[in-house]
Structure 1
């Protein structure tokens, strides 16, 4: 590790390297840094949306980062998709993928998803076009603000997806709860939340840089989401042996529904 300084959420615009991140996430096969996190994530997104119970007019992905894996399984089940991120550099990557100018194709990820759906990799170009066609905006988002989209008006949506966002921003349980509440505030009563995060942990590394990651126990996480109005429908975990790249105990997948009268 060349640099042991800890970086926080405000450092992402200058210290987070989206191109390095994209290269790690271009392939769903296990890698030394993230193990089988990507295949776990893609498999559980497929399970969530393949159930047929999660659908609606509009989907919002919060904290998209420079990848589009969160929305591939979801796209056939909604009409409009909004991507969002705090960093301009990440949004630039997303815009390049959307207009077809990004050098990374994410084809391996699409192939993985289509295989789970019983489809051939010959269908990749059709699915790519279908996902692109449903993207209505790539927005600046700050989960720390009660109004996440202060520069854009966006009404409550039917579905929210999010992956590894809150733990990258929260610094304690109180802030995690507040940011979770902000997220749920964008969801219609009765709408669905499909998200991924970490159980435990204090950091993860990207290249030579170490970023803070606030992790809570399984019980603390479930209690927090219930407190902000989410009825947990399913919960799954992927144990991740601690190593030099991160110290999380596990990754979790959660499907929830916003309590109608919350």
Structure 2
């Protein structure tokens, strides 16, 4: 396993299918389900079903080609735009979006979403609703002033970002700059729903070790406050597994509202 020099997710890319299999799959023995699937989905279901975030347009900026965190969002946002750093992740997600042969099987997460909502008899409708909500999948580059250049996006009512800031930021300054670029896409009064790992320094996939910026709950809260977001929800779950694939201590779900 090549773990000598940690790679950067947005610079070096990764094996997107291997990442999904290790951290999000329904395979027997998959250790991370409580942290990467169950906890974030339950938090987002609660936040959205209680009206903590609402509007028409949602922008998602999340790691890999994950979609399970968007099932609840598709019930409340008519339009979803997804931003990805890698062509491979765009291809993986596009394959699922159009239900093509070889698409990743997310049925375990659509079932989990249906169970949260009490609609277990509507699994097919849930997947169709999410697919129909996704308007665009675009490549993004945080080195650009306009991260979706040359495309210009309308400001979002809500942004969900899962496991991105700590993966693409080498230090505190970069974390703050990247956070500012994300909230530039947010309307005044809009909400940022941030999902991340606490006290993590690395993660492994495809036999390669990747960098993670180590931050704690206090740092994340302060970061959101410094860029003008008012925190109105925060939940932290301590790690529920034992594995040397990643060294995080907890998962955080936090909501910041942009000033009017």
Q: TM-score, normalised by structure 2?
A: 0.92
Structure 1's unaligned 5+ residue stretches are none
Q: Which residue pairs with 1:7 in the alignment?
A: 7
In the alignment, is the contact (CA less than 8 A) between 1:233 and 1:256 conserved in 2? Answer: yes
Secondary structure at the counterpart of residue 4 of structure 1? strand
Deviation at 1:23, TM superposition (A): 2.3
Q: Which residue pairs with 1:59 in the alignment?
A: 58
d(CA) in 1 for partners of 2:217, 2:156: 27
Deviation at 1:53, TM superposition (A): 3.4
Deviation at 1:105, TM superposition (A): 2.8
Which is worse superposed, 138-147 or 56-65?
138-147
Q: Which residue pairs with 1:202 in the alignment?
A: 201
**Where in structure 2 are the equivalents of 1:229-240 lying within 5 Å?**
229-240=228-239
Indicate how the Cα distance of structure 1 residues 247 and 219 shifts in structure 2: closer, same or farther if over 3 A, else same.
Answer: same
d(CA) in 2 for partners of 1:28, 1:194: 28
Which is worse superposed, 206-215 or 181-190?
206-215
In the alignment, is the contact (CA less than 8 A) between 1:64 and 1:70 conserved in 2? Answer: no
Q: How big is each residue's C-alpha offset from its partner over 1:139-164, in whole Å with a ceiling of 9 and x where there is no partner?
A: 00123433111121102110100100
Secondary structure at the counterpart of residue 233 of structure 2? strand
**Where in structure 2 are the equivalents of 1:80-119 lying within 5 Å?**
80-101=79-100, 102-119=102-119
d(CA) in 1 for partners of 2:147, 2:94: 20
d(CA) in 2 for partners of 1:219, 1:234: 14
d(CA) in 2 for partners of 1:227, 1:86: 26
d(CA) in 1 for partners of 2:185, 2:234: 22
d(CA) in 1 for partners of 2:27, 2:253: 16
Indicate how the Cα distance of structure 1 residues 90 and 33 shifts in structure 2: closer, same or farther if over 3 A, else same.
Answer: same
In the alignment, is the contact (CA less than 8 A) between 1:33 and 1:245 conserved in 2? Answer: no
Secondary structure at the counterpart of residue 26 of structure 2? coil
d(CA) in 1 for partners of 2:150, 2:62: 16
**Where in structure 2 are the equivalents of 1:23-102 lying within 5 Å?**
23-24=21-22, 25-27=24-26, 31-32=30-31, 36-101=35-100, 102=102
In the alignment, is the contact (CA less than 8 A) between 2:57 and 2:157 conserved in 1? Answer: yes
d(CA) in 1 for partners of 2:76, 2:27: 22
Structure 2's unaligned 5+ residue stretches are none
Indicate how the Cα distance of structure 1 residues 243 and 125 shifts in structure 2: closer, same or farther if over 3 A, else same.
Answer: closer
In the alignment, is the contact (CA less than 8 A) between 2:10 and 2:86 conserved in 1? Answer: no
Q: How big is each residue's C-alpha offset from its partner over 1:9-57, in whole Å with a ceiling of 9 and x where there is no partner?
A: 34433xx111112223133997235653321111111111111231111
Which is worse superposed, 233-242 or 26-35?
26-35
Secondary structure at the counterpart of residue 78 of structure 1? coil
Indicate how the Cα distance of structure 1 residues 48 and 29 shifts in structure 2: closer, same or farther if over 3 A, else same.
Answer: farther
Indicate how the Cα distance of structure 1 residues 229 and 242 shifts in structure 2: closer, same or farther if over 3 A, else same.
Answer: farther
Indicate how the Cα distance of structure 1 residues 31 and 80 shifts in structure 2: closer, same or farther if over 3 A, else same.
Answer: same
Provide the aligned C-alpha RMSD in A. Answer: 1.9
In the alignment, is the contact (CA less than 8 A) between 2:92 and 2:104 conserved in 1? Answer: no
d(CA) in 1 for partners of 2:103, 2:218: 42
In the alignment, is the contact (CA less than 8 A) between 1:56 and 1:77 conserved in 2? Answer: yes
Deviation at 1:242, TM superposition (A): 6.8
Q: TM-score, normalised by structure 1?
A: 0.91
Indicate how the Cα distance of structure 1 residues 145 and 242 shifts in structure 2: closer, same or farther if over 3 A, else same.
Answer: farther
**Where in structure 2 are the equivalents of 1:178-193 lying within 5 Å?**
178-193=177-192
